[in-house]
Amino acid sequence: MAGGAIELVNLTKSYGEVEAVRGVSLSIPEGEFFSLLGPSGCGKTSTLRMIAGFEEPTSGNIILDGVDMSTVPANQRPVNTVFQNYALFPFMTVAENVGFGLKYVNLGKQEFKTKVGAALELVRMGEYALRKPSQLSGGQQQRVALARALILGPKVLLLDEPLGALDAKLRKTLQVELKSLQESVGITFVYVTHDQEEALTMSDRIAVMAAGKVEQLGSPTEVYENPGTAYVADFLGSANVVNVEVTGPGSSGRTAFRLGSVTLEAAGPSMAPGPGTLVVRPERIHLDSTADSATAISATVERTVYLGAMSDVVVRLESGQELVVRKPSELSGNHHRGEKVMVHLRPDAMRLVPAGALATITAAD
């Protein structure tokens, strides 16, 4: 189905004195898998519920395919929602659950059966049509909920943390399936999650939210590799976030800064001299015993944390700051507490963002 472009214009939502959503403006083109990512209390679910029509905005506009839906009742919007608990009727079969919404559409018996069958096949649940929800696994129930939401042909599918109740291994499998399903049906998906891996795996674009506002908007690669704020860097993936002193322009368009007694250069947008925040991902730091590089800093190993395929080596710089270095476990086992090492920080591995505390989360989710 064509359509499904969403425009949020200065959207706000207050619950009494609490501002849950504060001036959110977003454009979501049709057919995009778009994620609202953030911790509990950041306003992402309130935003989704306003798009669905379950909550009325305090101010602002929700425009769908050029039509303002801000005051249109939920049942009159061309959207559907999949919830975390799936909300399946326990006394109905899988087929009856999926076809429930079609009862309000004038269809013949054969057309009804055909539509239900096609929806179940779309999510690979055709053979379970006569089972009850209690006879299904969590992942199977999720597929049924998706089929029920898609059968009416919505222009937009809203998903409120639908994988949150599943175990880690199943979540990984269904992340791939969900993205594949979205590409197959071709409609707009708006996905709410606090799980960074889900957002990075499935999304075309991500809006990272904090305290009712959008901190950064971009593709998974953009927000991960080039975080715009210390909050985004700290929330989206593992990151070393360290206070530094920016000293001014460096070479080749880089920015120079001091980390303890060492002067280094970071790639990315230039910053004026003064306090700054260094962001560097653990996997982008190189650790060895050689000092023949301008990017090498002396450090001492504090501890090694085994994570399975990877391990985190925590090192303390001479200036007192700690950095986490992520390495394959097979290469990190030879590091021991108290060992003297050299930390190599390449300019293209580092980003500088404005100094300041991480965002304070005070809004209601």
Where a domain ends, among 180, 206, 226? 226
Max mean pLDDT range (35-39, 151-155, 160-164, 197-201): 35-39
Decide: 224 and 213 in contact? Cβ < 8 Å.
no
Burial of 257 (0-12, 13-18, 19+ CB in 10 A): buried
Residue 36: its pLDDT value, please? 96
Q: What are phi and psi of 238, to 5 degrees?
A: -80, 140
pLDDT surpasses 90 at 59: yes
Comparing 163 with 242, the larger pLDDT belongs to 242
Distance of CA 104 to the CA centre of its chain: 35
At residue 291, the pLDDT reads: 67
| Residue 25 and residue 94 in one domain | yes
What confidence score (pLDDT) does residue 299 get?
A: 92
**Could you tell me if residue 364 is inside a domain?**
no
- Structure tokens of 344? 């190599």
* The domain boundary residue, chosen from 170, 191, 226: 226
The torsion of the CA quartet 33, 164, 53, 125, rounded to 10 degrees, works out to 70
- Exposed e or buried b per residue across 168-179, where buried means at least 16 C-beta atoms within 10 angstroms of its C-beta: eeebeebbebbb
Which amino acid is it at 359?
Answer: A
Higher per-residue pLDDT: 174 or 7 = 7
pLDDT for 155: 94
Label residue 228 by pLDDT band (50, 70, 90): confident
Q: Which domain holds residue 185?
A: 6-226
Please tell me the distance from the alpha carbon of residue 132 to that of residue 97, in angstroms, as a whole number: 9
pLDDT for 208: 95
What per-residue confidence (pLDDT) applies to 364? 39
Q: Which of 82-86, 131-135, 163-167, 324-328 has the lowest mean pLDDT?
A: 163-167
Q: Which amino acid is at 361?
A: I
The string of DSSP codes covering 67-99 is EE-TTS-GGGSSEEEE-TT----TTS-HHHHHT
> Cβ–Cβ contacts within 10 Å for residue 25, how many?
13
User: For 269-307, how does the pLDDT look when each residue is reduced to its tens digit (9 = 90+)?
Assistant: 788 898 988 999 999 998 887 766 667 889 999 999 988
Section 245-252 average pLDDT: 85
pLDDT in tens, 137-152: 888 888 898 899 888 8
Which residues does residue 279 pair with via DSSP β-bridges, in sequence order? 241, 351
Indicate whether 358 pLDDT > 90.
Answer: no
Same domain, 207 and 324: no
Percent of the chain with pLDDT over 90: 45
Same structural domain, 56 and 168: yes
Check whether residue 252 and residue 214 sit in a common domain.
no
Q: Is residue 159 part of a domain?
A: yes
Mode of pairing for the β-strands spanning 156-160 and 79-82: parallel
Instruction: Output the six-digit token pair for 229.
Output: 């704020």
CA torsion sign, 90 to 91 to 92 to 93? positive
283 CA to centre of own chain:
20
Can you give the pLDDT at residue 271?
83
Region of 286 on the Ramachandran plot (φ > 0 left; ψ -120 to 50 alpha; else beta): beta
Q: Return the pLDDT at 363.
A: 37
Residues ≥6 apart with Cβ < 8 Å to 18: 362, 363, 364
pLDDT of residue 359: 45
365 within some domain: no
Supply the pTM of this predicted model. 0.85
Give residue 236's pLDDT band: very low, low, confident or very high (50, 70, 90): confident
CA–CA dist 37, 16 (Å, integer)? 24
Give the CATH number, domain containing residue 335.
2.40.50.140
Partners of residue 306 on adjacent β-strands: 311
Strands annotated E in 38-128:
59-64, 67-68, 79-82
Q: What is the pLDDT of residue 292?
A: 66
Same domain, 315 and 245: yes
Instruction: Check pLDDT > 70 for residue 365.
Output: no
pLDDT band at 176 (very low <50, low <70, confident <90, very high): confident
Give the C-alpha separation, 316 to 203, whole Å: 36
Compare 189 and 353 and report the one with higher pLDDT. 189
Measured CA to CA in angstroms, residue 105 lies from 36, 79, 221 at distances of 32, 16, 43
Amino acid at 210: A
Mean pLDDT of the chain: 87
User: Per the structure, how many domains does the chain have?
Assistant: 2
244-253, 287-296, 327-336: segment of lowest average pLDDT = 287-296
Q: Write down which residue in 197, 226, 255 finishes a domain.
A: 226
Residue 333 has pLDDT above 80, yes or no: no
pLDDT for the residue numbered 202: 92
The Cα diameter of the chain in Å comes to: 78
Percent of the residues in the chain that have a pLDDT greater than 70, as a whole number = 95
Claim to verify: residue 101 and residue 171 sit in the same structural domain: yes
Is residue 78 located within the same domain as residue 198?
yes
Q: Do 73 and 198 sit in the same domain of this protein?
A: yes
Residue-level pLDDT at 357: 45
